[in-house]
Copies of this chain bind each other. A is one copy, B any other.
């Protein structure tokens, strides 16, 4: 197990609801095309504002997955 190699990609998930929802959206999308997603790390939390309210959160993530 110790000689596994992982790849890390950067994705941005967005959500009108919450930071956690933005993370889930990004990971669900990454999971559609890659296998063995194992972890994530939040790089940045930003967002868009309209009429004095958060329109949506944008969460920049590093996502790591094991290469076969």
Contacts and interface: CB of A to CB of B under 8 A. Distances in A.
Given A39-B47, A47-B23, A47-B39, A5 B13 contact: yes
A51 to B, nearest CB: 8
A35 B26 CA distance: 18
Interface in A43-65: 44-49, 51-57, 60, 62-64
Main secondary structure of the interface of A (DSSP, over half): strand
Contact of A10 (B9, B24, B27): B9
Contacts of A27: 49, 52-54
Interface string A1-24: 111111111111111101110011
Nearest to A44: B41
